[in-house]
């Protein structure tokens, strides 16, 4: 299965290699810090493999720099990505108001604008998904990412997750599910 390498992948690889060279780190040094083989790192640096967002974040952490450094000077924008000024829509399915406030505070620190919509129980979430299937989608935008508390009332979080994956317009939407944040305290 081809990886669909594009110009951004090659650019990111070159930036990683340039920063590593500037720090005078051997391939082996960075590879060990990342927990990958030297060959894998070489493939990333030459643009032969895609660098995932999580790997790029880890690399930035090891280099003690911001992720945005790797994009500096990049002129192109890969096809299919929304324009930079277009805010992403996040759906938070969370009953606990304190957890919602915590989440919203964390989102405010994100460098790009994010729209956060909240459903407070499983039934409200299912109704939200139904509205996306109807003409009401003009008022309720399709989420780009869903955060789901599995311990929500009315309809279990697992049932909500099943419902998301059954809906064709949401099947490919990433869902980060977690047990209630305050349940561990």
> Do residues 29 and 61 touch, judged by C-beta distance below 8 A?
no
Can you give the residue range of the structural domain that contains 158? 88-184
Instruction: Tell me, yes or no, whether 66 and 98 share the same domain.
Output: no
Torsion angles phi and psi, residue 19, rounded to 5: -70, -40
Instruction: Tell me, yes or no, whether 64 and 109 share the same domain.
Output: no
Is the pLDDT score of 142 beyond 90? no
Decide: residue 162, CB within 10 A, 0-12 exposed, 13-18 middle, 19+ buried. exposed
Instruction: Tell me, yes or no, whether 93 and 171 share the same domain.
Output: yes
Instruction: Tell me, yes or no, whether 104 and 52 share the same domain.
Output: no
Torsion angles phi and psi, residue 56, rounded to 5: -65, -40
Instruction: Tell me, yes or no, whether 11 and 57 share the same domain.
Output: yes
> Do residues 44 and 18 touch, judged by C-beta distance below 8 A?
no
Asked, for residue 147, whether it belongs to a domain, the answer is yes
Q: d(Cα 73, Cα 61) in Å, to the nearest integer?
A: 20
The CATH number covering residue 175 comes to 3.40.50.2300
Q: Which residue has the higher pLDDT, 17 or 113?
A: 17
Q: What is the pLDDT of residue 135?
A: 52
Instruction: Tell me, yes or no, whether 109 and 167 share the same domain.
Output: yes
Is the pLDDT score of 73 beyond 60? yes
Q: d(Cα 145, Cα 172) in Å, to the nearest integer?
A: 10
Q: What is the pLDDT of residue 42?
A: 92
The pLDDT of 45-49, averaged and rounded, is 88
Q: d(Cα 135, Cα 133) in Å, to the nearest integer?
A: 7
Query: Per residue in 84-113, pLDDT tens?
Result: 445 688 999 999 989 889 988 888 887 778
Asked, for residue 78, whether it belongs to a domain, the answer is no
For the chain, report the end-to-end CA distance as a whole number of angstroms: 44
Instruction: Tell me, yes or no, whether 146 and 176 share the same domain.
Output: yes
Query: Per residue in 160-173, pLDDT tens?
Result: 999 999 988 888 88
Asked, for residue 1, whether it belongs to a domain, the answer is no
* Geometric angle at alpha carbon 48, from 42 and 54, rounded to 5°: 75
Query: Per residue in 27-41, pLDDT tens?
Result: 999 999 999 999 999
The pLDDT of 122-127, averaged and rounded, is 90
Number of domains within the chain: 2
Instruction: Tell me, yes or no, whether 180 and 100 share the same domain.
Output: yes
Asked, for residue 80, whether it belongs to a domain, the answer is no
pTM over 0.75: no
What is the pLDDT confidence band of residue 122, given thresholds at 50, 70 and 90?
very high
Q: What is the pLDDT of residue 107?
A: 85
Instruction: Tell me, yes or no, whether 102 and 180 share the same domain.
Output: yes
Instruction: Tell me, yes or no, whether 104 and 65 share the same domain.
Output: no
Asked, for residue 79, whether it belongs to a domain, the answer is no
- Residue of 143, 21, 46 whose CA lies nearest to 92: 143
The CATH number covering residue 55 comes to 1.10.260.40
Q: d(Cα 93, Cα 124) in Å, to the nearest integer?
A: 9
Instruction: Tell me, yes or no, whether 93 and 162 share the same domain.
Output: yes
Asked, for residue 82, whether it belongs to a domain, the answer is no
Torsion angles phi and psi, residue 16, rounded to 5: -65, -45
Q: What is the pLDDT of residue 115?
A: 85
Q: d(Cα 63, Cα 92) in Å, to the nearest integer?
A: 32
């Amino acid at each position: 299965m081809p990886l669909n390498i594009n110009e951004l992948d090659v650019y990111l690889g070159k930036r990683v290699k340039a920063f590593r060279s500037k720090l005078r780190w051997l391939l082996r040094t960075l590879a060990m810090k990342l927990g990958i083989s030297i060959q894998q790192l070489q493939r990333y640096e030459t643009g032969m493999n895609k660098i995932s967002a999580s790997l790029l974040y880890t690399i930035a952490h090891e280099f003690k720099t911001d992720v945005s450094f790797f994009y500096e000077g990049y002129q192109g924008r890969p096809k299919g990505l929304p324009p930079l000024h277009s805010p992403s829509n996040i759906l938070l399915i969370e009953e606990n108001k304190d957890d919602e406030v915590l989440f919203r505070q964390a989102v405010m620190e994100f460098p790009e604008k994010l729209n956060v919509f909240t459903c407070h129980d499983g039934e409200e979430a299912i109704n939200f998904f139904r509205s996306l299937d109807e003409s009401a989608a003009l008022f309720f935008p399709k989420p780009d990412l869903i955060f789901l508390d599995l311990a929500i009332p009315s309809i279990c979080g697992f049932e909500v997750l099943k419902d998301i994956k059954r809906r064709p317009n949401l099947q490919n939407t990433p869902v980060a599910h977690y047990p209630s944040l305050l349940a561990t305290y």
